[in-house]
Amino acid sequence: MALMERFDHFMARANAAYYAAQDPFEDFTTAPELTQVFGEILGAWAKTVWQMMGAPDDIILAEAGPGRGTLMADALRLWPREQVHLIELSGRLRAEQASRVPNAIWHESLDTLPEGPLILLANEFLDALPVRQFIRRETGWRELHVENGAYVELPADIELPDDPVGSVREINEAAEEFCEKLAAREAVALFLDYGPLQSAPGSSVQAIRDGAYADPLRDPGQADLTAHVDFAAIAARVNVQGPVKQNAFLTGLGLFQRSDFLARKFPDKAQNFALAAQRLTAPEAMGSLFKAVALCPKHLPRLPGFEI
């Protein structure tokens, strides 16, 4: 089948197949799966932000890409809600989410969320969205396409800066569009994801299969494809606070205090709480490459964790 498609379309298709059929949590561990404290901090954060918004009765709490539903289940202990909204495409993961968050309503995109004030949480969601990839050749910019498991370059149909020959640029149109839709409805959204503070050149696309790096073009649907999130590109389009490094964000919001408290309460799990807090904050683990960024209307003051 000689189907040629743009790289972002390939990535979208490959990831939809991956999340529909595979258990991603055999391939990688995410923050909410390491410790309940992660979701609890985000729940407390959301509740405080709601109060800063004037505590509207009709507030909507939502999460994008909720994985196993662990983050939301933990968040709801700190801020109980009658109903929450989950944006998830995978039927398999929706079933897992239902077991932990029985009071959820599911959506395929932002478009079907009810109207009204919205707080959205998303951990490792934006990095799963497809990116367009461009490479600078002697004759100009080319956009990467995929055909029969190999890259094909076609002349780019958008303007890009005049980088040196051989440079690669990525554009995450899906992430930018997602953020613009949130901004248009004056939502507050908290994204935790990995990516540099400044836009960085080069390809950041990675494929993880069976816990190891793999070729992104091989066996689409067998590997998880991600790209670093270009926070600066998002900040250029919508109002944000941050990004700040995940360790500063979580430490400022009491990660260690809450972990110590739970360690004393559940002595047989004390070591888990300590190790998870370490892993989330150590610069060589998840503390530094991961960032927190809050999208919010301009009139809001500094949100918790973004005071500096």
Would you tell me which residues interact with ligand SAH (CB under 6 A)? 15, 19, 24, 30-33, 65-67, 71, 87-90, 93, 123-125, 128-129
Q: What angle do CA 295, 298, 301 make, to 5 degrees?
A: 90
Let me know: does 165 contact 271? Beta carbons within 8 Å. Answer: no
Q: How far is the CB of 39 from ligand SAH (least distance, A)?
A: 9
Q: What are 270's two structure tokens?
A: 């004390």
Secondary structure class of 119 (helix, strand, coil): strand
205 secondary structure, DSSP code: -
Helix, coil or strand: residue 301: coil
Specify the amino acid at residue 158. Answer: I
Q: What is the dihedral sign for C-alpha 125, 129, 135, 140?
A: negative
Given the complex with ligand SAH, which of 24 and 195 has the nearer CB atom?
24
As measured in angstroms, the least distance from the Cβ of 32 to ligand SAH is: 5
**Nearest approach, Cβ of residue 157 and ligand SAH (Å):** 23
Residue 135 vs 188, nearer CB to ligand SAH: 188
Shortest Å, Cβ 50 to ligand SAH:
21
Ranked by CB distance to ligand SAH, the top (closest) residue is: 65
Nearer to ligand SAH, 40 or 124 (CB): 124
Please confirm whether the linkage preceding 243 is cis (ω < 30° from 0).
yes
Query: Minimum CB separation from ligand SAH for residue 93, in Å?
Result: 5
Nearer to ligand SAH, 124 or 170 (CB): 124
Q: Are 168 and 157 in contact (CB under 8 A)?
A: no
Report the residue number, 174 or 300, with the smaller CB distance to ligand SAH.
Answer: 174
